Structure 1
């Protein structure tokens, strides 16, 4: 069975932008445009193709700040600060370079990259071993016997690698139950509240005991009075958070096009030519050493 690598493109771009921006190393080209995030992205994906022994590569992208989740809640990700001005030109640049390097890029308006990743992974897992690279732990809800999630840990090659067995051993839950846990505990980074006063440990215990949010609510009379009160007070937020925590796995996609476009064979000479064209010297030098 062949290996399919699915990469969260924005996660890599942001990570490598900030890794060098903190030292004011923006790696500007001759036009003065910063390229540090783009160069880090190239280096990371090239290393990941090698480390995962990928036969196919898909890069998933966010396509704007507004998605269907903003229709569920105006507060969803609304508090996030605008990116630094040095990053703005790199959003379009990285996707252009990614395409020229031969990676298959997919982004769908009104959906997040996580939704695209989840849809492809669940649709194609019967035919491929799938490895997902991201920094987002929400993707752990996708784990099963043919899907791994490699959470970025350090540099270009250190990951926290999760498969279904590791997740079950650590959490005492099935991966899909992470959605119910997140519904109770909320997510301040994404801007949804969950149940005020219920944190991760309590949320995990509730789902371990009752299985899902609906069953917790059905058995609320068995809970301590304090938990009953918290759930009753935050009931609407709980229902909303359950919707927001779930990765949507039915994004409309053209699978015939995907299957035709995702095969990938690393060509260092071509990749270096692309880097030369875009004045990406640091990335080029790295590729020559891979």
Structure 2
């Protein structure tokens, strides 16, 4: 476990990393089956621990059950291809790795991992023991959660490159501040999630409207100040925009209980970890984990002086 100096919580979007690892790495087979996604996830986990140096860690995962968004809008994510069986089979193996580290896994039926992350992040934001929350994901939807205390470690290329974004970083990347990303997506939609926003409003127009008037509701309260064509587009697309707003907004009220003290009870180079690595054939990762364990012991000892 890391030292308590930074009092930092890292929340990992498990499926986001698994998907990226699966598509970024060539097939890798061990005696337990296909493990390229497990290997990539585990490699990324070690990188996260080494670079971000968290005291608290949790992994959030999606579930198979229908989510409230799908109940609200049947076409939500309907265009996405079925997940490869070779990836599905690696989810349980990844859970074995996570559990071997002593890291807690959170998932709640009816909600996406984004909502679970949002709820944990907001709970942590109000926890005096935690000074900083970092969310690790490749999903830009999560950027709406960024605040003074919450940052996002956004994967930008496979699982090899990532950038740490605070509020100003999000604004530079998206054109709007984090708390206005939902309003932005209500206007432009999200092709990857299969909702359209307000048809006819593109990213540049959306940013311009938000900067001039504020959020989605404020824009609609100022229709009389807009050019006739833009006004007509907004009026026609209001219902779709309102639905898109509800779909885009990450929930922070998911019914779950968390004892943040439990999120500190993880270990890097335990015998459990090494045993799982041996079973999965992760020789190079076993070497990395031993080196990381030694480094963490040294760093923790230095914090005492």
Task: Confirm or deny a common fold (TM above 0.5).
Answer: yes
What is the CA–CA distance in structure 2 between the aligned matches of 1:288 and 1:157, rounded to whole Å? 21
Partner of 2:76, secondary structure, is coil
What is the CA–CA distance in structure 1 between the aligned matches of 2:18 and 2:167, rounded to whole Å? 27
In the alignment, does 2:19 pair up with 1:14? yes
Aligned residue for 1:274? 276
Tell me if structure 2 keeps the 8 A contact 1:47–1:156: no
CA positional deviation for 1:139: 0.9
Tell me if structure 1 keeps the 8 A contact 2:198–2:233: yes
In the alignment, does 2:243 pair up with 1:217? no
CA positional deviation for 1:276: 1.2
Tell me if structure 1 keeps the 8 A contact 2:150–2:166: yes
What is the CA–CA distance in structure 2 between the aligned matches of 1:3 and 1:83, rounded to whole Å? 33
Partner of 1:268, secondary structure, is coil
Aligned residue for 1:247? 250
In the alignment, does 2:19 pair up with 1:27? no
CA positional deviation for 1:175: 1.2
Range with greater deviation from structure 2 (75-84 or 85-94)? 85-94
What is the CA–CA distance in structure 2 between the aligned matches of 1:125 and 1:47, rounded to whole Å? 24
Structure 2: 5+ residue runs without aligned partners?
A: 1-5, 293-305
What is the CA–CA distance in structure 1 between the aligned matches of 2:166 and 2:119, rounded to whole Å? 18
When residues 147 and 102 of structure 1 are mapped into structure 2, their CA distance, relative to the original with a 3 A threshold, is same
CA positional deviation for 1:86: 1.6
When residues 172 and 80 of structure 1 are mapped into structure 2, their CA distance, relative to the original with a 3 A threshold, is closer
Aligned-residue CA RMSD (Å): 1.9
Tell me if structure 1 keeps the 8 A contact 2:101–2:267: no
Range with greater deviation from structure 2 (260-269 or 57-66)? 260-269
What is the CA–CA distance in structure 1 between the aligned matches of 2:79 and 2:291, rounded to whole Å? 41
Structure 1: 5+ residue runs without aligned partners?
A: none
Provide, for residues 75-101 of structure 1, a one-character-per-residue CA deviation record: whole Å limited to 9, x for no partner: 111111012222121122212321122
Partner of 1:255, secondary structure, is coil
What is the CA–CA distance in structure 2 between the aligned matches of 1:63 and 1:17, rounded to whole Å? 18
Provide, for residues 38-57 of structure 1, a one-character-per-residue CA deviation record: whole Å limited to 9, x for no partner: 11111101110121110010
What is the CA–CA distance in structure 1 between the aligned matches of 2:35 and 2:8, rounded to whole Å? 30
Alignment size in residue pairs: 283
Partner of 2:148, secondary structure, is coil
Alignment of 1:1-290 (within 5 A): 2-20=7-25, 25-31=26-32, 33-64=33-64, 66-126=66-126, 127=128, 128=130, 129-154=132-157, 158-168=161-171, 173-256=176-259, 259-270=260-271, 271-288=273-290, 290=292
